[in-house]
Homo-oligomer: A and B are copies of this chain.
Amino acid sequence: MQTAPHNPSPEESLRAANTNFYAAFESLDLAQMEAIWAHDDDVSCVHAGSELLLGWEDVRERWTRIFANAKRVRVALSCVWLRVEGNAGWVVCTERVTTAFTDGFDDTRVQATNIFVRNEDGWLLVARHASPLTSATRAPVQ
């Protein structure tokens, strides 16, 4: 007997989209990150401690730089909270971002708000606002 396929709720698919964003972040693969975002002039991104980026071209270019500078990234999420309103949804969560560079590492707690819009292909990230909760530490490699 076959089990009926599970039809995910909007909240479940939004949570999965958010998880996919962090998987793309950890992959350091621009193609994966490109698949997460809407590619239009209306997307926005505030990286932790940085100025606002507006429009996909600027957002994409910054991810290119972030990925070029990092050797490895791991993000552990806590306090994940989400809300869906029609075809818009947002996730509020706390990130612990550990980044390895060639000359050391960062270990930073970040508060994030990720806003997604749903179309026929699923949820696409359209706005991200991240901000550091504690000052970053960058220690030399021992």
Contacts and interface: CB of A to CB of B under 8 A. Distances in A.
Given A111-B129, A129-B129, A133-B51, A42 B83 contact: yes
A87 interface: yes
A137 B116 CA distance: 35
Chain A interface extent, by class:
20 to 34
Contact of A46 (B51, B54, B113, B126): B113
Interface of A: 42, 44, 46, 48-49, 51-52, 54, 79, 81, 83, 85-88, 90, 92, 94, 111, 113, 115, 117, 126-127, 129, 131-133
A113 B129 contact: yes
- Dominant secondary structure at the A interface: strand
Number of copies of chain A assembled together: 2
A117 B42 contact: no
A96 B52 CA distance: 14
Interface centre among A48, A79, A115, A131 (most CB of B within 10 A): A131
B86 A115 contact: no
Given A113-B129, A127-B113, A133-B51, A44 B81 contact: yes
Nearest to A111: B46
The 7 A-B pairs with the shortest beta carbon distances in the complex, nearest first, are: A131-B131, A88-B88, A86-B86, A85-B88, A113-B129, A129-B129, A44-B92
Contacts of A132: 131
Contacts of A127: 83, 90, 92, 113
